[in-house]
């Protein structure tokens, strides 16, 4: 049976179904719709201003790869007048981050955006592999979340960026909304569905109460994960699709399954969950913004005398006291980090002469290579 015709142009055969409405669309119309939807989010939430220097948190995964590509396209088409930079965080997870960084190196060439890399090891003296060895697999996501948030900020500041853009999508947002419901955290519930934080001077805190020094924007916040995968495939974008070696926390895993199951019954469930949280803005209790100062230990922005990252580093020191001598147990301050900020070379060396995103090693874990 021939495929149905595209519901938008009514001339080309449909190549996909939109997840929310299940309407058939052809490849060209899908790409056009996708890009205009992202543009609409950017415009309606005033995410960018001319002259912005935007550091894209680039992990090599599908979300940030699509984000970099689509922002490049839209910036040209709609004259945003912004400068786009790729910023990667090397958590130090062998076999996961090493490989995904190769994809980012490829993106630098393909999208013509300069890439910089900061590593946990550089900033904190610990790689994630070393942290997991010390604390086990129970709390590792807490460490990683706090360190990554601060590392993105510090990297972006070193690049002179005015904003940080991340690839969070609607499915991520729906999970976070439901997690906050199960925690009864109504204050966070109201703002976790927003496409930006910090744009109007409000310093939104992350899951562990840490703060960001630069505004965060999430242009894919109204975009379904399924659409992102499709957009990447239709544009033959190279990305790295292996899950983090240290799987997500148990609670998020359950919520993720729940969202996927309910989406099978209702195509628009994801966006409904996100929309509900947005509407709840009006009933959320007024919270007082945390008073910001400088961390006593590292001098970085903090809402408490000692920042969350330094707190966690102290915990690591308690677990492995002998290690203090061999590694910096306080994070580098920004001038020290600036001196160590030539990690870009490190990635290029690691990438070696890999010709494909997966390294061309034969055991390809890259979804694009597998399916193309």
Residues placed in the known binding site for ATP: 57-59, 63, 89, 167, 172
State the nearest-atom distance from the C-beta of 14 to Zn ion, in Å.
8
State the nearest-atom distance from the C-beta of 296 to Zn ion, in Å.
7
Q: Can you state the percent helix, strand and coil of the chain, rounding each to 5?
A: 50, 10, 40
Binding-site residue set: 57-59, 63, 89, 167, 172
State the nearest-atom distance from the C-beta of 303 to Zn ion, in Å.
11
For Zn ion, give the closer residue by CB, 29 or 237: 29
Sheet (strand 216-217) strand order: 115-119, 83-90, 53-57, 163-165, 216-217, 196-197
End-to-end alpha carbon distance in the chain: 24
Contacts of 50 (CB under 8 A, 6+ apart): 80, 81, 82
For Zn ion, give the closer residue by CB, 47 or 301: 301
CB atoms within 10 A of CB 69: 20
- CA angle 263–269–275, rounded 5-degree value: 155
Looking at the DSSP bridge assignments, the partners of residue 19 are none
For Zn ion, give the closer residue by CB, 138 or 296: 296
For Zn ion, give the closer residue by CB, 9 or 187: 9
To which H or E segment does residue 55 belong? strand 53-57
> DSSP labels for 164-186?
EE----HHHHHHHHHHHHHHT-H
CB atoms within 10 A of CB 248: 13
Phi, psi (deg, nearest 5) at residue 301: -50, 130
CA 246, CA 48: separation in Å to the nearest integer?
34
Q: Which residues bind Zn ion (CB under 5 A)?
A: 6, 8-9, 12, 26, 29, 295, 297-298, 307, 310
State the nearest-atom distance from the C-beta of 8 to Zn ion, in Å.
5
For Zn ion, give the closer residue by CB, 206 or 249: 206
For Zn ion, give the closer residue by CB, 211 or 220: 211
State the nearest-atom distance from the C-beta of 315 to Zn ion, in Å.
13
State the nearest-atom distance from the C-beta of 147 to Zn ion, in Å.
11
Burial tier of 358 (Cβ tally within 10 Å: 0-12, 13-18, 19+): buried
């Amino acid at each position: 049976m021939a495929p149905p015709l595209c519901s938008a142009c009514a001339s080309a055969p449909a190549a996909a179904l939109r997840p929310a409405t299940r309407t058939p669309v052809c490849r060209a119309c899908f790409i056009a719709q996708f890009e205009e939807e992202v543009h609409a989010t950017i415009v309606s939430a005033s995410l960018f201003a001319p002259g912005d220097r935007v550091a894209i948190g680039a992990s090599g995964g599908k979300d940030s790869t699509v984000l970099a590509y689509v922002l490049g396209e839209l910036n040209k088409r709609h004259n945003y007048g912004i400068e786009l930079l790729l910023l990667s965080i090397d958590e130090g997870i062998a076999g996961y981050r090493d490989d995904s960084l190769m994809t980012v190196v490829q993106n630098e060439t393909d999208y013509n955006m300069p890439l910089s890399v900061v590593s946990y090891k550089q900033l904190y003296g610990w790689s994630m592999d070393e942290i997991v060895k010390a604390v086990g697999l129970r709390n590792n996501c807490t460490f990683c979340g706090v360190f990554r948030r601060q590392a993105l900020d510090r990297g972006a500041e070193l690049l002179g960026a005015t904003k940080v853009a991340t690839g969070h999508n609607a499915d991520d947002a729906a999970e976070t909304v439901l997690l906050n419901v199960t925690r009864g955290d109504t204050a966070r519930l109201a703002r976790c569905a927003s496409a930006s934080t910090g744009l109007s001077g409000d310093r939104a805190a992350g899951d562990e109460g840490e703060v960001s020094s630069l505004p965060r924007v999430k242009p894919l916040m109204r975009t379904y994960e399924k659409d992102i995968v499709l957009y990447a495939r239709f544009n033959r974008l190279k990305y790295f699709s292996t899950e983090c070696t240290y799987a997500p926390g148990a609670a998020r895993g359950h919520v993720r399954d729940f969202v996927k199951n309910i989406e099978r019954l209702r195509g628009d469930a994801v966006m409904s969950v996100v929309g509900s949280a947005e509407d709840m803005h009006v009933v959320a209790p007024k919270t007082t913004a945390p008073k910001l100062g400088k961390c006593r230990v590292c001098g970085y922005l903090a809402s408490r005398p000692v920042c969350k990252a330094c707190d966690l580093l102290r915990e690591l020191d308690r677990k492995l006291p002998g290690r203090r001598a061999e590694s910096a147990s306080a994070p580098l301050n920004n001038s020290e980090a600036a001196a160590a900020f030539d990690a870009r070379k490190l990635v290029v060396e690691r990438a070696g002469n890999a010709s494909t995103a997966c390294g061309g090693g034969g055991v390809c874990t890259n979804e694009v290579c597998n399916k193309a």
